Structure 1
Amino acid sequence: MKTNTAEKWLEERIRKYGPISKLSLFGKPTVFICGQAANKFVFTSDNSTISNQQNKSTRMILGDRCLLELSGEDHKRVRDALVSFLKPESLKKYFGKIDEEVKKHLELHWHGKEQVTVLPLMKTLTFDIIGSLLFGVERGARRDQFVSNFKEMTEGVWAVPVNLPFHTLQPQPESKSKDPKHGERSYAIRDQDNVQVVTDKEIVDNVMLVMVAGHDTSSVLITFIMRLLLNDPAVFEAVLEGSKVRMLDCLLGFAEQEGVAKSKSAGELLTWEDLAKMKYTWRVAMETLRTVPPIFGGFRKALRDIEYGGYLIP
């Protein structure tokens, strides 16, 4: 993964051993399956056959009560709580804040630069937005330390779980979290009777999951959208639609059309209604997700012996 050859490694494995093979991965016996039939099998199997379970290092860092680990009613309960926080009615409140972060990012890292490296900057941007919206951590020494700790944490997610002093992944004692009882960031975890619907540990584990998942997938998506726009002038022109706004402002500032750009006065923030007008940009994003998905695999655990493709998976 560090050399960006993981997909090639998997393709070579398929060429040698076919679409079903066994191996040891992260210190555990693993069955590797791929293809459309494999995806359908995994995503349509019931909870008595296959359950969510990530590799040990991921569980140690993100916890065993995040959505990647939960199944059945527990998964639905926690997912519903997260969805209520991320639904449009909630996101509308933070849209102006996101626009502010994007504008600051462009001023600091893009304007006046002859050459930039997109992916690291997109990771910076998505982290700044997550830190600001989820935790209220603004620019400064505290956020810089937050970034450093976060990078160290994500390196451990894909590490082999070996407990050695010099190793990337070292178990740490679990800290007790406090129940947030006020503020907009806590409303999604309580029902209409003000009863807490998810546990404190589920809050902590899923906040970390949202950080890691949102940070990596969004930054990769935006990076590949920019590559598409650079390599396909026709798509770029369709997104820009004759606007005099620079390409970076077009993509990262969400100004798709000349009409949107002209309707805003200097310094005026974009609105949810502006975003709704950017239908072509949304289609570009969806097509990019289809052709270059940010995640190319996932983990499950077989709860009983499974027959698949003529093989027995224990």
Structure 2
Amino acid sequence: MSIFNLLLIFLLPIFIILFLRERRGVSQKLPPGSLGIPIIGQSFSFLHALRKNTGDKWLQSRIQKYGAVSKLSLFGAPTVLLSGAAANKFIFTNDGVILANQQPHPIRRILGDKNLTELRGEDHKRVRGAIGMFLKPESLKKNVGKIDRVVRQHLDMNWKGHQTVKVSLNLTYYVEVVLLFLILRVYPMMKQLMFDIICSLLFGLEQGKDREMLIHDFHLFTQGLWSVPINLPFTRFSNGLKASRRIRRVVSELIHEKRSAMELGQASPQDDFPTILDNAIVVMFAGHETSTSLLTFLLWFLAKDPVAYDAIVHEHEEIAKTKVSGELLNWDDLAKMKHTWKAAMETMRIIPPVFGGFRKVLKDFEYGGYLIPKGWQVFWAASPTHMDDQIFIDQWKFNPARFDNQTSIPPYNFVPFGGGMRICPGNEFVRIESLVSIHYLITQFRWKLLDGEDVITRDPMPMPQQGLLVHLEPKIVP
């Protein structure tokens, strides 16, 4: 045997061991980035960026620096940011296998650990199915008329002539002109309307002290969801926990009354939602926060885009012509509101109500050549794909025509409601309450922005910092 062959036999195992060791080293490589200070990590800088409406830039700066996979720490836990359509697909299609829908510590403490976003396996299927019974199209069809009545009542009580402001202008020493403006702050009014709808459908809860208290506490509750989990007085996390406890007391009483009515045959189980406290609160929270954001910014965009506004006005006036005085909207009417829903989807593309979401890593896995360890959390965000100029050309321009052919948008690029088996179960409910609301807003009012450059903030839901002040002009409805 030649010396070469002897050397080959001797060295080959060494090469194999070195190769396997190198491969093992690559597979065990954590993503680039830093976990920062324990517990705090990058939470403060992330939340600060959201409140300054620079969350998109905050994400893009990380992606440009580290790539589509990077490590950081958010809300007290080591986290991996995965961005892009491929990452969205991976996250949405691996639930229960590699990933679980466990939320960060602040969300679990405030929402409760038995809510839908925490449940797994058969428990998740059972509760999601029960909530789906309440939110399925067959049930929602029966509730279109109820939503219609709530919207009309709210507009009559809060939008028609109750926000008039008298302004005196001294043009000269001798001449004074008095102007009457109908000034309205859209965001808080829209929030009240959406909360009225969800309270009426779930519990038949009429306006009063309980409802006023609940909407105030849900504001604190929401602020606490994305917060640094430091339970000290006056922190957002602490205020969120306190608000959650107060909400639970009120909702527990409402659930008890609902169950009693069902036992007496005064309420139908088919119209009921799961009477589990944590999930009742989740439905109340999600049922008004996302729609509030969507409708507020839809009005904002329409005020800036006369072409889109005129197309939607025409669509709703044509529907209104088919209705006799006082007749309620129905399911078929909603199906005709195609331009409106395209504008709504474009609104959610540019300003998604939910910035992103979290998953818990169930076991070690490799992604993009990096190790993602068991016990860490994965964070995904909507903006990296919503603002991808390869998919959405001129991405900052409001253009509802992008959704004329929705099949032209590649999968996992437009994800305002998430995706996969964890897609928001209330997305159809959001569509219905939004379409009914915009029908009466656009057929009964015209509006003009008083501050066209109203600053946007996220806290954590997006909202105009000044609440979107508009000059409202009631239309003369024949």
With the length of structure 2 as denominator, give the TM-score of the two structures. Answer: 0.55
Is residue 2:125 matched to residue 1:76?
yes
Q: Which residue of 1 aligns with 2:193?
A: 125
Is residue 2:347 matched to residue 1:272?
no
Is residue 2:220 matched to residue 1:152?
yes
- 1:53 Cα offset (Å): 0.8
Segments of structure 1 that go 5 or more residues without pairing to the other structure are: 191-197, 242-255
Greater fraction strand: 2
Task: Return the match for 1:93 from 136, 142, 154.
Answer: 142
Q: Which residue of 1 aligns with 2:354?
A: 295
**Conserved 8 A contact 2:98-2:362:** yes
Relative to structure 1, is the Cα distance of residues 10 and 109 closer, same or farther in structure 2, using a 3 angstrom cutoff? Answer: farther
d(CA) in 1 for partners of 2:355 and 2:301? 19
Secondary structure of the residue aligned to 1:257 is helix
Sequence identity (%): 53
Q: Count matched residues.
A: 290
Where in structure 2 are the equivalents of 1:143-222 lying within 5 Å? 143-170=211-238, 180=259, 182=262, 183-184=266-267, 186-187=269-270, 203-222=276-295
Q: Which residue of 1 aligns with 2:449?
A: none
Relative to structure 1, is the Cα distance of residues 39 and 99 closer, same or farther in structure 2, using a 3 angstrom cutoff? Answer: same
Secondary structure of the residue aligned to 1:147 is helix
d(CA) in 1 for partners of 2:371 and 2:281? 35
Where in structure 2 are the equivalents of 1:206-245 lying within 5 Å? 206-241=279-314
- Give the CA RMSD over aligned residues: 2.6
d(CA) in 1 for partners of 2:220 and 2:338? 37
**Conserved 8 A contact 1:51-1:303:** yes
Q: Which residue of 1 aligns with 2:78?
A: 29
Q: Which residue of 2 aligns with 1:251?
A: none
- 1:186 Cα offset (Å): 4.4
**Conserved 8 A contact 1:50-1:300:** yes
d(CA) in 1 for partners of 2:96 and 2:290? 26
Secondary structure of the residue aligned to 2:360 is strand
Deviation per CA, 1:233-253: give whole Å up to 9, x if none: 222222121xxxxxxxxxxxx
Which amino acid in the other structure matches residue 55 of structure 1?
A: P
Segments of structure 2 that go 5 or more residues without pairing to the other structure are: 1-49, 164-181, 374-478
**Conserved 8 A contact 2:106-2:227:** yes
Q: After the TM superposition, which segments of 4 or more aligned residues of structure 1 sit over 6 Å from their partners?
A: 172-176
Relative to structure 1, is the Cα distance of residues 80 and 60 closer, same or farther in structure 2, using a 3 angstrom cutoff? Answer: same
- 1:93 Cα offset (Å): 2.8
Higher-Rg member (1/2): 2
d(CA) in 2 for partners of 1:166 and 1:259? 52
Of residues 215-224 and 286-295 in structure 1, the stretch that sits farther from structure 2 once superposed is: 286-295
Of residues 128-137 and 278-287 in structure 1, the stretch that sits farther from structure 2 once superposed is: 278-287
- 1:185 Cα offset (Å): 6.8
Where in structure 2 are the equivalents of 1:35-54 lying within 5 Å? 35-54=84-103
d(CA) in 2 for partners of 1:271 and 1:189? 21
Q: Which residue of 2 aligns with 1:17?
A: 66
**Conserved 8 A contact 2:69-2:83:** yes
**Conserved 8 A contact 1:134-1:185:** no
Secondary structure of the residue aligned to 1:265 is coil
Relative to structure 1, is the Cα distance of residues 111 and 265 closer, same or farther in structure 2, using a 3 angstrom cutoff? Answer: same
Where in structure 2 are the equivalents of 1:101-120 lying within 5 Å? 101-112=150-161, 114-120=182-188
Q: Which residue of 1 aligns with 2:204?
A: 136
Secondary structure of the residue aligned to 2:356 is coil
**Conserved 8 A contact 2:106-2:228:** yes
With the length of structure 1 as denominator, give the TM-score of the two structures. Answer: 0.82
Is residue 2:20 matched to residue 1:5?
no
